[in-house]
């Protein structure tokens, strides 16, 4: 057993975790970061290229940006929080200079708001290390540790490369484990199995907005890629007829059109309208994208290729751990949430925050939680001499007799309830009730009999986290008997003013839902 | 999905074992890493980006292995392409591989305009 003591413990290794580590270290705290994978390659930023919500400090421009986005938040976002992330992002992103090579645009100005993923994560890693952060890669956390008063005291897990267990005690803990895409194959999301939701919920944390968990993104059938070039796409059915599908990243219902076309039969994409100069520059714009095409023997710009939609779950959805204050405290003392592990309803409401807003959120919530956890550790200390108890249940401490499980089969059963368009994109009360019943059965069987230790506990807990996340998704769908933003109930297509409030959800063995107490003003037309 | 660790090129540095976000590789007894959990590979190509020996080959299909011939892959010129085009390591010295990522918003805006114009055209005809 490796024992670690620190002021601030960060669980996760993506963009939010990186910013959180930097902020905590810069405020003078001793910081330990543990990641299931490697800080630099883990998570969906590493394989992507996040733009950031980027509005100059002109009060009128910023107010307009917030108002524009409030109009598609369907009453669930907070203008003050939007303004905060715009300001925090503008003020802090350029501080990566020296670690990230901000290129100059054609007019000679440095371009700050869009960063290429692998280089962005490499920069965050090096800046964090230089700030004194101790990074432990390949250190998956399995569960949180709790004080007798219920406050989070640390975490424990296993070192993946050696199999040795580790335990970390800290004055403040930040959950930055990302969202959950249910292992859909979405690029970069294999590690995003909702681990942080499960660990936090076991410690008593509440979630919010789990009905907004049904984003999907377009890609070749055989490999999830980045999507920028699909802005040029033409689509065809198997007979070669061009399909009328709303334009990607524009107004209109691209996702609904594409899902219906895919339900009707195979869909093929053609990118032959990408101009010559873009084709020439693209390997240096996004070098990862052409790679799988070349290897598949598909001419990216001249061949038709079959496409599908990969589920993004809560990654491009907006649900996650509920935050209760300016420093992204969760509902559990000592525990903070950042990035996709936290709800993004405050800044995006019922519509996906897409790349730009979600990135601004990951940066900002990272910085805030880092500062908040450091302040808590300063105030309350590390409390390392107090007794603690582990809070993990499912797969670690079965309530019944252990029996062998096919965890990959279990994951497949969860995917059957979370990936299909007719269950998750186009939702109904009857459908979600049936899904929830099947998921409940999986939960109870696993809760009683699934038991894993050492390295196999990592996979078992990931699977358990997917079951838990899927149950919250369908339970929240049932608790919102209307359509709002990405949440589409085909049996309740209207948006109902009385439901214009965020929906809290929590519980593991028994799931509960409750509207947030204060109703929000209906701001959209 | 990960297909090959090319033993003839691998220097045994162990970087791929350390950086793979999904724990696909185990360190091998002779220093050459072993593909121990191919089914956990997420086809993110990150291992290739970090492999300065260009000794790894990830196939294009995310959910299945399609065995390939090592010598054919070495001859194909595909090895190290992603790392080179990213301007990493020794390629940082070559200005032609410098990142042009700042053009991304131009690319996407261009796509939106071209698609909007095409839709208008289709509507009129």
Q: Check if the beta carbon of residue A349 is closer than 8 Å to that of residue A77.
A: yes
Predicted TM-score (pTM) of this structure: 0.97
Partners of A188 on chain B (C-beta within 8 Å) are 21, 42, 44
Q: Check if the beta carbon of residue A405 is closer than 8 Å to that of residue A460.
A: yes
d(C-alpha A54, C-alpha A57), whole Å: 10
Q: How far is CA A38 from CA A42, A108, A462, B124, in A?
A: 5, 34, 17, 52
What's the token pair of residue A39?
């800080």
Predicted pLDDT at B124: 85
CB contact under 8 A, A114 and B101: yes
CB nearest B86 (choices: A118, A189, A224): A118
Q: Check if the beta carbon of residue A232 is closer than 8 Å to that of residue A274.
A: yes
Residue in chain A nearest B89 by alpha carbon:
A119
Establish how many alpha carbons lie within 13 A of residue A370's alpha carbon, considering only the half-sphere containing its beta carbon: 30
Maximal CA-CA distance, chain A: 71
Quote the domain boundaries for residue B58. 2-93
**Contact B120/A at CB under 8 A:** no
A407-491: what fold? Methane Monooxygenase Hydroxylase; Chain G, domain 1 (1.20.58)
Q: Where are the domains of chain A?
A: 2-213+314-390, 215-311, 407-491
Say how many C-beta atoms besides its own lie within 10 A of residue A434's C-beta. 14
Residue B35, domain member (yes or no): yes
d(C-alpha A159, C-alpha A499), whole Å: 45
Say how many C-beta atoms besides its own lie within 10 A of residue A51's C-beta. 20
**Contact B125/A at CB under 8 A:** no
Predicted pLDDT at A337: 98
B residues 16-75 lying closer than 8 A (beta carbon) to A = 17-23, 27, 39-40, 42-46, 49-50, 59-63
User: What is the CATH superfamily name and number for domain A2-213+314-390?
Assistant: FAD/NAD(P)-binding domain (3.50.50.60)
CB contact under 8 A, B110 and A278: yes
Residue B123, domain member (yes or no): no
Residue B14, domain member (yes or no): yes
Give how far B24 is from chain A: nearest CA, Å: 11
CB nearest A190 (choices: B22, B100, B112): B22
d(C-alpha A43, C-alpha B22), whole Å: 10
* List of residues 6+ apart from A2 with CB closer than 8 A: A159, A164, A165, A166, A167
Number of domains present in the structure of chain B: 1
Partners of B49 on chain A (C-beta within 8 Å) are 118
Predicted pLDDT at A498: 94
- What letters, b where the CB count within 10 A reaches 16 and e where it falls short, cover B53-72? bbbbbbbbbbeeeeeeebee
Predicted pLDDT at A521: 40
Residue in chain A nearest B47 by alpha carbon:
A41
d(C-alpha A486, C-alpha A482), whole Å: 11
* List of residues 6+ apart from B106 with CB closer than 8 A: none
Give how far A493 is from chain B: nearest CA, Å: 27
Residue in chain B nearest A310 by alpha carbon:
B62
CA A482 to chain CA centroid, nearest Å: 24
Predicted pLDDT at A247: 87
Q: What is the mean pLDDT of residues B42-48?
A: 98
Q: Check if the beta carbon of residue A70 is closer than 8 Å to that of residue A77.
A: yes
- Return the CATH number at B14: 3.30.70.20
Partners of A138 on chain B (C-beta within 8 Å) are 18, 23
CB contact under 8 A, B61 and A115: no
Q: Check if the beta carbon of residue A13 is closer than 8 Å to that of residue A38.
A: yes
Per-residue pLDDT of chain A (525 residues; tens, 9 = 90+): 999 999 999 999 999 999 999 999 999 999 999 999 999 999 999 999 999 999 999 999 999 999 999 999 999 999 999 999 999 999 999 999 999 999 998 888 999 999 999 999 999 999 999 999 999 999 999 999 999 999 999 999 999 999 999 999 999 999 999 999 999 999 999 999 999 999 999 999 999 999 999 999 999 999 999 999 999 999 999 999 999 999 877 778 999 999 999 999 999 999 999 999 999 999 999 999 999 999 999 999 999 999 999 999 999 999 999 999 999 999 999 999 999 999 999 999 999 988 799 999 999 999 999 999 999 999 999 999 999 999 999 999 999 999 999 999 999 999 999 999 999 999 999 999 999 999 999 999 999 999 999 999 999 999 999 999 999 999 999 999 999 999 999 999 999 999 999 999 999 999 999 999 854 444 333
- Pairing of β A141-147 and β A134-136: unpaired
Give how far A261 is from chain B: nearest CA, Å: 17
- Domain at A215-311, CATH class: alpha beta
Partners of A274 on chain B (C-beta within 8 Å) are 111
Mutate to test the interface with B, among A96, A105, A231 (most CBs of B within 10 A): A231
**What is the ipTM, given to two decimal places?**
0.97
Predicted pLDDT at A518: 58
């Amino acid at each position: 057993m490796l024992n670690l003591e620190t002021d601030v413990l960060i669980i996760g290794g993506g963009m939010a975790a990186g910013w959180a580590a930097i902020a905590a270290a810069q405020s003078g705290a001793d910081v330990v970061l543990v990641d299931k994978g490697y800080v630099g390659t883990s998570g969906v930023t590493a394989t992507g290229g996040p733009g950031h919500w980027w509005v100059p400090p002109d009060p009128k421009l910023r107010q307009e940006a917030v108002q524009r986005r409030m109009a598609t938040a369907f009453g669930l976002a907070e203008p003050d929080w939007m303004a905060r992330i715009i300001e925090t992002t503008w003020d802090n992103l350029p501080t990566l200079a020296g670690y990230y090579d901000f290129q100059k645009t054609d007019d000679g100005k440095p371009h700050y708001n869009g960063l290429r993923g692998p280089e962005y994560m490499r920069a965050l890693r090096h800046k964090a290390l230089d700030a004194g952060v101790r990074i432990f890669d390949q250190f998956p956390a399995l569960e949180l540790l709790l004080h007798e008063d219920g406050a989070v005291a640390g975490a424990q897990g296993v070192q993946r490369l050696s199999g040795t267990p580790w335990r970390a005690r800290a004055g403040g803990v930040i959950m930055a484990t990302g969202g959950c895409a249910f292992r859909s194959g979405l690029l970069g999301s294999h590690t995003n199995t909702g681990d942080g939701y499960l660990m936090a919920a076991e410690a008593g944390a509440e979630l919010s907005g789990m009905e907004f968990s049904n984003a999907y993104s377009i890609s070749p059938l055989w490999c999830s890629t980045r999507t920028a070039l699909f802005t040029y796409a033409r689509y065809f059915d198997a007979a070669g007829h061009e399909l009328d599908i709303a334009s990607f990243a524009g107004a209109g219902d691209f996702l609904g059109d594409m899902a219906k076309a895919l339900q009707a039969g195979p869909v093929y994409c053609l990118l032959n309208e990408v101009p010559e100069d873009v084709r020439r520059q693209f390997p240096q714009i996004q070098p990862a994208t052409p790679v799988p095409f070349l290897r598949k023997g598909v001419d990216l710009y001249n061949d038709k290729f079959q496409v599908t939609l990969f589920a993004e779950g809560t990654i491009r959805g907006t649900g996650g751990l509920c935050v209760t204050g300016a420093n992204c405290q969760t509902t559990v003392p000592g525990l903070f949430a950042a990035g996709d592990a936290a709800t993004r309803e405050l800044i995006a409401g019922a519509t996906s925050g897409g790349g730009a807003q979600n990135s601004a959120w990951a940066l900002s919530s990272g910085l805030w939680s880092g500062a908040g956890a450091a302040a808590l550790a300063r105030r309350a200390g590390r409390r390392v001499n107090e007794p603690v108890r582990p809070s993990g249940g499912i797969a670690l401490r079965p309530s019944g007799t252990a029996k062998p499980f096919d965890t990959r089969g279990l994951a497949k059963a969860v995917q059957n309830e979370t990936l299909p368009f007719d269950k998750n994109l186009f939702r109904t009360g009857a459908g979600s009730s049936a899904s929830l019943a099947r998921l409940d059965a999986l939960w109870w069987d696993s809760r009683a009999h699934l038991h894993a230790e050492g390295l196999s506990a990592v996979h078992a807990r990931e699977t358990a986290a997917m079951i838990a996340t899927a149950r919250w998704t369908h339970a929240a769908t049932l608790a919102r008997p209307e359509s709002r933003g990405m949440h589409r109930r085909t049996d309740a297509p209207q948006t109902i003013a009385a439901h214009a409030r965020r929906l809290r959800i929590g519980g593991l063995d028994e799931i509960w839902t409750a509207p947030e107490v204060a109703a929000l003003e209906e701001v959209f037309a | 999905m990960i297909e090959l660790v090319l033993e003839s090129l691998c220097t045994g540095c162990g970087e791929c074992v350390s950086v793979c976000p999904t724990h696909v590789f185990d360190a091998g007894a002779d220093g050459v890493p072993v593909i121990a959990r191919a089914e956990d590979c997420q086809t993110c190509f990150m291992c290739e980006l970090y492999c300065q020996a260009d000794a790894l080959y990830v196939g294009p299909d995310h959910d299945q292995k399609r065995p390939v011939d090592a010598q054919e892959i070495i001859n194909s010129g595909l090895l190290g392409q992603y790392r080179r085009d990213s301007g990493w390591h020794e390629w940082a010295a070559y200005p032609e591989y410098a990142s042009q990522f700042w053009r991304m918003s131009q690319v996407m805006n261009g796509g939106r305009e071209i698609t909007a114009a095409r839709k208008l055209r289709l509507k009129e005809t």
